[in-house]
Amino acid sequence: MCELLGMECNVLTDIVFSFAGLSARGGRHGPHADGWGLALYDGPVARVFLEPAAAADSALASFVREHPIKTLLAIAHVRRKTRGKVTLANTHPFTRELWGRHFVFAHNGTVRNAFELPLGRFRPMGKTDSEHAFCALLGALHHEFKDTPPPRAELAAAIARHAGKIGKGGTFNMLLGDGDQLYARCSTKLHYLVRKAPFKQATLADEDVSVDFAAVTSPKDRVAVVATMPLTRDEVWTAGEPNTLWVFRGGKLANTLAS
């Protein structure tokens, strides 16, 4: 299985602290050494870093950690392959354009019927069940709404519905971003927290690295963080219920939908 990381904020924020924790699980404190990726939104456009190598030993991952890029929405992934070779094309997160904005997707699990799903106008470039499922999800959204993007609530409901159908074919923990909202589906295992005032110190679960968020934030800041497993040892994380979809907007949990 792979590990997921998402961040959604109400103010521009860097993901260095959380990404450091995820990177350590990409080959040092975990077996997820078959690739890593990080997508950082700038409005509707995502800047994506991908490498089919262990994040823990990656010079590129170190560069990203040492040169923070602030964003309102980020999605990261460390891979342990189950289907598809270790190649750039098979490295998460995957990105496609729909309605004039980037949709970014990362997945944990195995979708057993993924290669039988109708794809619509979206085509995979790699050989993973994850990318096939992503293309099928976007194809279903485009088929339902055509060339006109729906309101936020309708889009969230459609994502929950179509992801639930795809998820019946296996394990479908996923993160999906569109530059406006972060969607996080729990199939078996997913956790989240919201950092807000009063801010405290946080320490990574697998590394002796701490940050005093009170020293680097303002009282109005809110940052929602989603991860497969809690990344810190001294914060309270909420576990997801199977077959639910969280919707994050403005640094908080905006909705929870059946999926």
Question: Mind listing the pLDDT tens digit for each residue in 195-204?
Answer: 999 999 999 9
Residue 38 CA, chain-centre distance (Å), reads 9
d(CA 226, CA 211): 18
Q: What size, in residues, is the chain?
A: 259
Whether 235 and 205 have beta carbons less than 8 Å apart is answered as no
Count the Cβ atoms, other than its own, within 10 Å of residue 64: 24
- Count CB atoms within 10 A of the CB of residue 101: 17
Q: 95 phi and psi, to 5 degrees?
A: -135, 135
- Check residue 112 and give its pLDDT: 84
The whole-number pLDDT of residue 84 equals: 65
pTM of the complete model: 0.96
DSSP 8-class letter at 65: H
pLDDT in tens, the chain (259 residues): 689 999 999 999 999 999 999 998 876 766 776 789 999 999 999 999 999 998 888 899 999 999 999 999 999 999 876 766 889 999 999 999 999 999 999 999 999 889 999 999 999 999 999 999 999 999 999 999 999 999 999 999 999 999 999 999 789 999 999 999 999 999 999 999 999 999 999 999 988 899 999 998 999 999 999 999 999 999 999 999 999 999 999 999 999 999 9
> Looking at residue 30, what is its pLDDT?
67
Least Cα distance to 137 among 201, 196, 185 occurs for 185
pLDDT of residue 197: 94
Q: Which of 7, 11, 37 is nearest to 182 (CA)?
A: 7
Q: Of 222, 202, 253, nearest to 12 (Cα)?
A: 222
Could you give the maximum distance between any two Cα atoms of the chain, in Å? 51
Residue 2 annotated as catalytic: yes
Domains of the chain: residue spans and CATH = 3-258 (3.60.20.10)
The tokens describing 11, both together, are 């103010």
What is the pLDDT, as a whole number, of residue 27? 65
Which residues, at least 6 apart from 104, have a Cβ–Cβ distance to it below 8 Å? 39, 41, 46, 48, 75, 93, 94, 95, 175, 176, 177, 178
pLDDT tens digits, 116-164: 999 999 999 999 999 999 999 999 999 999 999 999 999 999 999 999 9
Location of structure tokens 């790699």: 126
DSSP state, residue 26:
B
CA–CA separation, 197 and 28 (whole Å): 33
